[in-house]
Structures are given as C-alpha cells and as structure tokens.
C-alpha cells in the first residue's frame, strides 16, 4: 500500500510538501551545490513567467473570492512553493500542475526563470525606507524539510539548491511529528518578522509526512508620498450590502497615476524608491461582485496602460487583517486533482518511486496599511519660465469595497493581492 506524502503551502509566508514521513530533529543541512546567482534567462522567458504567475493570481482570486470578508494572499509565494514541488512531478501529475499554475515554460527554463526573478526582486529597495522607520525589506526565502534517513534523489535536491537556494533540513516526523511542526512554524515566524505564526496547524504533520516545502515572503516599505497622521479623520465606508461603517480615513492631495475605463477606476500608490507600488481597483458603477467578475489580466493591463499622472485629493481607509487558507480543495477545483490522489500522484522525480502525494497546501498572510512612512525627501528644481497654477485636484475617496495588488513595477510581478470589504473588521 502506498505511503502517503503531503504538501503544504503558504502565501506571504510558506508552502510545504508532506509525504511518507519520519519525524526529524531539525538541524542538519544537506546541500552539495550553491545557488546560481547569474541564471542565463532572457527577458522573454522572464515575461512569460510573470504573465503565467499573474494569470494564476487572478484565477486563484476568483476561487477565493467566495470566502467571507476581507482576503489577502501572496500568489507569488504560492507559485514559487508549488514550483519547487512541481520539480519532482512526472506524467499527468506534472501536466496538471503546469496547467493549473499557468507554468508556460519548460521545466528547466521555468526553474531558472524563478531564480532570475527572485534575484531581480532582491535588488529592490536598496536606498528606500520601510514603514517602521527602518530600511525597506522584501525578503523571499525557501526551505525544504525532509524526514531523516529518507532518500531523495540528488538530482531533485540539486535543482532546488541551485534555483531556489533551498537546502534540505532534516526532521524526525515519524517519532516527533508535532515537534517537527513547531520547528517549521518557528522558522516561518522568524522569516516573516513574527507576522505569520502557526502556519502548519495541529495535525497537519503526521508520522507519514516525508517532506515539507516552505516559502516565506516579507515586505515592509514606506509610501513615496506618506499620509500625515493629523489629516486622518473618521469617515464613512460603504459596505457591499448597502450598510455603512465608520473607519479612520487617511487623506492627502498629490499627483498619482490614475485611470478610468468602462466604469472601473484604478489608482497607483508608489512606495519609496519607485520600484514597487500598490494598485487599487474599484468601480464607479455596478456592484462589487461585477468588479470581481470583470477582473482579468487583460482588463488589468488595459486600465494600467491608460494611467496618467493626475492631481488627486485621495481619501482611503487604514486597514490591518490576516487571512489563512487550506488550498487543497481550491487547487483540486482548479484542475489539480492528480497531485492529491495517493493512487495516481507521481512525484517520482523526488525519490525515484511513486509513493508520495500532496496531502495539503496551506497559506497565511498578513497586511497592514496606514499613514506609514519614514521621513519624506524633497528635491528643488530651479525653472525659469511662466508661472502656472496647479490643476484643480480630482477627488478620489475609496469609501467602498476595493481590490488591491502589490506589484513590482519593472517586471510587473504581482507579489500580493487582496480585497477590502470592511476595513473595520
């Protein structure tokens, strides 16, 4: 009888793969090869990776939108964690994962492209500030946790080490499943500034677990144009059901990229350093449900292509919340059935046998948006010419449900996506 393996994934924090397991102790790192810091990937391949990841982000949003209340997740974290798992998939398991995850490149190219994108993101924010007054942080880290004395193919471990910087850490799932779970959860918490705790819930790790793959992503940045705390006042936010709540609304007037198209409105708020931004989408007509249904990559690219710098008096709510998801049923519903079926799953690229399958994919995410920022900088230009008055500002008040994304401006990679139905929750 096939021994079960499982996989667990996270969003702003982590993804894990579980299999036929023995517990582990948690220290020994096995890795013969170091990470390739200069992967040979062209711009076309990188663009295809980002496009596929963006398609998956919006596909997954359409499934998760049926959850109640505010939601937030990191499609990049999930895509990356499952890419490490896909590296060991073969046959129908491999093809189903590729179709669901929108992996449009060959395996060899895709893993190198993820490495290249990760190296590119690591360059961001070198001179920028974080919202807490410390430096800008965008940290993406991977780790794999295997059962002690369980044999994984060196080719699989080498691929993860070279492209994802993930060495094998051994634990004893068989004898100490809960202690192993706590070890992984502590690593996740440490990598996310304490924001993601208990990623792996009780009972998720058993003596049958053989492998857990984790990804953690942590982002902390100041607005390029910070809001002044004294300009924050209580304001009305209109909920999707027609009721209202009173929440703290931040206010400022400045120039932002802005566009309107077919009843959809988009505004972009840059972070310090002008390398990442938050894009907020809401509708001027129709229900919030119609906005969610109309959200496609084509629609997103279209309205962002129309954006122009516009002087805006902006009002938007402060908000802070966390989300957590068990993604197994969602991914099955999206077409990834074979990886979760212990009788069909083929992860022979990990071990040379077909005894492993994904038992679960879990994800947690946290977001906090406020006036935040460090000290703003100013530049002076001496211009000799005719004085012109600034244009009358356009008023934009985000007082109804909206969708927001955090993206890398240069590559277009969507790192996080969420919605705010009720900022008071």
pLDDT score recorded for residue 12:
30
- Confidence bin at 11 (pLDDT 50/70/90): very low
pLDDT digits (tens, 9 = 90+) for 369-388: 887 532 222 111 111 222 33
Cα separation, 334 vs 60, in Å, equals: 8
pLDDT digits (tens, 9 = 90+) for 159-214: 999 999 888 889 898 899 899 989 999 988 888 888 888 888 888 888 888 888 98
CB atoms within 10 A of CB 254: 15
pLDDT score recorded for residue 2:
34
Cα separation, 170 vs 181, in Å, equals: 12
Give me the count of residues in the chain: 425
Residue 26 falls in which region: left (phi positive, over 0), alpha (psi -120 to 50) or beta: left
3-state secondary structure of 289: helix
Cα separation, 313 vs 394, in Å, equals: 6
Residues 305-314, buried b or exposed e (16+ Cβ, 10 A)? eebeebebeb
The reported pTM is 0.86
Q: Report the DSSP beta bridge partners of residue 420.
A: 402
pLDDT digits (tens, 9 = 90+) for 337-362: 999 988 888 999 998 888 888 888 88
> Number of C-alpha atoms within 13 angstroms, CB side, residue 400?
17
Domains of the chain: 6-221+321-367 (3.30.497.10), 229-320+389-420 (2.30.39.10)
Question: Does the pLDDT at position 10 exceed 80?
Answer: no
Question: Does the pLDDT at position 389 exceed 70?
Answer: no
C-alpha to C-alpha distances, 421 to 143, 291, 297, 332, nearest whole angstrom:
34, 12, 22, 27
Question: Does the pLDDT at position 225 exceed 70?
Answer: yes
pLDDT more than 90, % of the chain: 33
Cβ proximity of 273 and 128 under 8 Å: yes
pLDDT score recorded for residue 336:
94
- Confidence bin at 32 (pLDDT 50/70/90): low
pLDDT score recorded for residue 36:
82
Cβ proximity of 323 and 72 under 8 Å: yes
Give the distance between the most distant pair of CA atoms in the chain: 83
H/E stretch holding 313 reads: strand 308-317
Q: Report the DSSP beta bridge partners of residue 312.
A: 254, 394
- Confidence bin at 25 (pLDDT 50/70/90): very low
Cα–Cα–Cα angle for 375, 308, 418, rounded to 5 degrees: 65
pLDDT digits (tens, 9 = 90+) for 296-316: 999 999 999 999 999 999 998
Cα separation, 104 vs 301, in Å, equals: 19
Residue 25's nearest CA partner among 182, 239, 164, 151 is: 182
C-alpha to C-alpha distances, 53 to 13, 100, 102, 330, nearest whole angstrom:
17, 10, 7, 17
What angle, rounded to 10 degrees, do the helices at 75-86 and 154-164 form? Answer: 150
């Amino acid at each position: 009888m096939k021994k079960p393996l499982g996989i667990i994934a996270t969003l702003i924090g982590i993804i894990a793969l579980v299999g036929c397991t023995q517990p582990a102790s948690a220290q020994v790192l096995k890795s013969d090869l170091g990470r390739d810091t200069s992967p040979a990937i062209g711009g076309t391949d990188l663009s295809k990776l980002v496009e596929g990841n963006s398609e998956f982000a919006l596909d997954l949003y359409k499934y998760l939108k049926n959850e109640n209340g505010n939601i937030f997740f990191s499609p990049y974290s999930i895509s990356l964690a499952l890419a490490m798992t896909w590296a060991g998939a073969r046959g129908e398991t491999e093809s189903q994962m590729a179709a669901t995850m929108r992996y449009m490149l060959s395996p060899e190219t895709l893993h190198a492209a993820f490495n290249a994108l990760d190296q590119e993101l690591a360059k961001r924010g070198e001179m920028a500030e974080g919202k807490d007054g410390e430096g800008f942080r965008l940290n993406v880290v991977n780790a794999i946790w295997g059962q002690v004395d369980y044999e994984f193919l060196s080719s699989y471990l080498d691929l993860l080490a070279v492209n994802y910087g993930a060495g094998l850490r051994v634990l004893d799932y068989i004898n100490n499943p809960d202690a192993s779970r706590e070890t992984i959860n502590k690593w996740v918490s440490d990598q996310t500034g304490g924001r993601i705790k208990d990623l792996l819930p009780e009972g998720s790790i058993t003596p049958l677990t053989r492998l857990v793959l984790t990804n953690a992503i942590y982002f902390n940045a100041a607005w390029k144009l910070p809001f002044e705390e004294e300009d924050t006042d209580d304001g009305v936010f209109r909920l999707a059901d027609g009721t209202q709540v009173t929440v703290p609304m931040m206010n400022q007037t400045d120039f932002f990229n802005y566009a309107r198209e077919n009843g959809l409105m988009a505004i972009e708020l840059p972070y310090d350093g002008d390398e990442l931004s938050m894009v907020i989408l809401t509708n001027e007509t129709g229900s919030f449900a119609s906005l969610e249904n109309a959200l496609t990559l084509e629609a997103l690219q279209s309205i962002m292509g129309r954006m122009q710098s516009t002087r805006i008096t902006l009002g938007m709510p402060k908000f802070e919340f966390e989300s957590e998801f068990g993604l197994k049923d969602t991914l099955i519903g999206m077409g990834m059935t074979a990886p979760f079926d212990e009788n069909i799953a083929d992860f022979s690229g990990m071990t040379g046998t077909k005894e492993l399958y994904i038992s679960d994919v879990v994800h947690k995410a946290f977001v906090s948006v406020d006036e935040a920022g460090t000290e703003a900088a100013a530049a002076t230009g001496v211009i000799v010419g005719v004085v012109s008055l600034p244009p009358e500002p356009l008023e934009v008040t985000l007082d109804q449900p909206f969708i927001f994304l955090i993206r890398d401006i240069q590559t277009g990679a969507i790192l996080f996506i969420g919605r705010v139905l009720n900022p008071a929750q």
